[in-house]
Amino acid sequence: MKELKNILSKSIKVKSLVHFFTLSLILLFAHGANADPFFDFDWDEPAAFTPIAASPAPISFEDFGNHNLFADEIIQTTGDIDLLVAATANLNPGMPMADVMSFDIAGIMLGQDFATVYRTFRDTPQLYQFRARNPVVFSISRDWKVNLDYECRRNRVFAPMALSNCINAIARERGLLYAAQLHLERPATGETITVHFTSNATGNVVWRVIYENDVDNIPGDAEIFHWQRESRVFVWWNAVVEKFGMPNSGNDRWISSSSTFEPMMTVFYGRLDLTDLGLNAYDVSLNFQSARDNFPALPYFF
């Protein structure tokens, strides 16, 4: 039994170190290649994360009105950040950096808050509309969910459904439950837009917009279908270049700096991916630190 306890203790320490090291790498990449020593980060500059069009009032669950979205919500736990995306972006010779923060997809820009985006598509006629079912996906930071699970279990809530309800109720009450995704669609053309938002720790703002269409889909392998696909892709590509200009990094990416943690956009066949990975990493790090600082441990005294 003593050996088992030692093994478990070592395992827990290793996992904690891996989690801590991963988040440290995220912060390092987000801060840039010319950062000072490892923990010398200056996160006291909010200008880079100021919403472009702040809403006059924050969204509330009651604000969903007749859509009654919260009654049918999907609540997901945030996942890990893929450190493989932390790479250097190379600028094409003779090309300037792009003002990616000014890019929009159907009017949606990086840094806009959820309330503004949601109300825009709810209250005014748009080409896009809410997805028929569960257009809003809610989320709880994984690190906060660990805290809330522990808190609920300490109050003798153990049954899976009751435990889930306990966690979600507390998260909603404390502002830890937030709108993480908004799904829009244009049924006439088959186009979709998925908007990803940060948590309330950083203002619940847009950090990623994914646009998709069916330009790359063809009904068969005959030569005529091949030429139809090529024509559709040609029209699609010209429309992209007309709106955003030529890519300035390779032939498929617009970058605003040499770091992929700064705002950038990537184009694929029938897909645009507008991202601010640094903002998302910053949001994850804030939740991690805040959850750790507020873990409801017993008041040990010795």
| 126-150 pLDDT, tens digit each | 899 999 999 999 999 999 999 999 9
Is 160 among the domain residues? yes
Is 52 among the domain residues? yes
Q: What is the pTM of this model?
A: 0.76
Q: At what angle do helices 2-31 and 277-293 cross, to 10 degrees?
A: 140
- Domain containing 273 equals 44-293
Can you tell me the distance from the alpha carbon of 79 to that of 141, in angstroms, rounded to the nearest whole number? 8
Three-state DSSP at 12 gives helix
Q: Can you tell me the mean pLDDT for 186-213?
A: 96
pLDDT, tens digit (0-9, with 9 covering 90-100), for 208-244? 999 999 998 878 888 888 898 899 999 999 999 999 9
Is 36 among the domain residues? no
The residues, ordered by sequence, that sit 6+ positions from 134 with a Cβ below 8 Å of its Cβ are 69, 72, 73, 74, 183
Specify the pairing of strand 206-212 against strand 271-275.
antiparallel
Is 275 among the domain residues? yes
Is 120 among the domain residues? yes
pLDDT, tens digit (0-9, with 9 covering 90-100), for 98-129? 999 999 999 999 999 999 999 999 998 889 99
Is 143 among the domain residues? yes
Is 30 among the domain residues? no
Is 247 among the domain residues? yes
Can you tell me the distance from the alpha carbon of 22 to that of 71, in angstroms, rounded to the nearest whole number? 36
The structural domain count of the chain equals 1
Can you tell me the distance from the alpha carbon of 54 to that of 188, in angstroms, rounded to the nearest whole number? 31
